[in-house]
Amino acid sequence: MTGKKRIVVGMSGGVDSSVTAWLLKQQGHEVIGVFMQNWEDDNDDEYCSIKQDALDAMSVADIVGIDMEIVNFAKEYKDRVFSYFLKEYSAGRTPNPDVLCNAEIKFKAFLDYALELGADCIATGHYARKLERDGVHYLMKGVDPGKDQSYFLYRLQQHQLARALFPLGDIHKSEVRRLAEEAGLPTAAKKDSTGICFIGERPFREFLQRYLPTKPGEMITPDGKVVGEHIGLMYYTLGQRKGLNIGGSKDGSGEPWFVGGKDIPGNKLIVVQGHDHPLLLKPALQMDDLSWTLPQPPAAGDYAAKNRYRMADAACSLSPIVDGKATLTFRDKQWAVTPGQSAVLYDGDICLGGGIIQ
């Protein structure tokens, strides 16, 4: 990036966005920090860290020497992200709200706000890279394989990528921590946040029960034998092992139980024994609600894909895209392919986009 730019940095109060702001300031840019308040419920809850995060972001801004604003996007978040989250869970699927938050809040509502401030671009602490060639913006994997976050950014479009910077894309996490310590940033040793942003560290079922009514039903084996009772299909995801509370059965295999499927119309949870039960291994997946990072959708052919964030790239072939839907067929069967999650397609280090697993 050449020349001095006005850059608005999304500051979360974590070490990654802190170092992002520091690096850009060191490079001589005019940097403005914005802390996004995306959630207002339970602000005084023991599990909510938003107040401390805002204080940490302000402390960093003071040390880096930049102005910082706190901007409330809670209404946009509820309308665009949280309502979708509840709708998907009530339908028995397992959504990924962080993917939607990036597309709808951080690179839409926040980007629009930054442009009103006269920003040339925005920057975030994501571990991803961007390459521009012949006017086309390519979303690339971050160089740290353990932290690459391109999976969560796959719904970004060209106009969003054109205005986005990812200063940490070429840096390993250990180096980010070192830079933060060297710069005297108070977030240098701060623990990374985990889980869904608006749930924080609170028990998931407890949170969901506030918004969705429970609907208990039978737990059954694939041949229809009742082995227990579930508390509501929305509380379970494919491949889940914990929390099933199924004891051993005299004619069972003795292996652990896993969620193998859902009978939505019958309100039954299908459970299987054994990590590699056939119901948990799928040779292909269908996806819709497609979104591509490049101007043209990818042609049918051989690629690699992730059907969840923490997994290695899996060799696959993409079918021709018809009516906004596509099929990925894998070289090796994939474990616990989960409806509602995102399947993300890669050509080497280039993130091409993807869709929602059906």
Q: Which residues are annotated as a binding site for ATP?
A: 10-17, 36, 125
Burial class of residue 198 in the structure, from the number of CB atoms within 10 Å of its CB (0-12 exposed, 13-18 middle, 19+ buried): buried
Task: Extract the tokens encoding 10.
Answer: 């999304």
DSSP assignment letter at 151: G
- Residues 39 and 50: their CA atoms lie apart, in Å, by 8
Would you list which residues are annotated within the binding site? 10-17, 36, 125
Burial class of residue 21 in the structure, from the number of CB atoms within 10 Å of its CB (0-12 exposed, 13-18 middle, 19+ buried): buried
Per annotation, catalytic residue among 48, 101, 121, 316: 101
In the beta sheet, which residues pair with residue 218?
A: 229
| Known catalytic residue at 121 | no
Asked whether 335 and 90 are in contact (CB, 8 A), the reply is no
**CA-wise closest residue to 286 among 330, 238, 233:** 330
Asked whether 110 and 69 are in contact (CB, 8 A), the reply is no
Chain-centre distance of CA 283, in angstroms? 24
Alpha-carbon distances of 287 from 100, 272, 290, 341, rounded to whole Å: 16, 25, 7, 10
- Residues 176 and 19: their CA atoms lie apart, in Å, by 7
Alpha-carbon distances of 102 from 4, 137, 166, 310, rounded to whole Å: 26, 17, 13, 18
- Residues 123 and 54: their CA atoms lie apart, in Å, by 18
Per annotation, catalytic residue among 48, 197, 316, 351: 197
| Known catalytic residue at 101 | yes
Structural element, H or E, at residue 83: helix 83-90
| Residue appearing with tokens 């709808």 | 104
DSSP assignment letter at 170: T
Q: Under 8 Å CB-to-CB from 334, ≥6 apart: which residues?
A: 281, 282, 283, 285, 307, 314
> Which residues belong to the active site?
101, 197
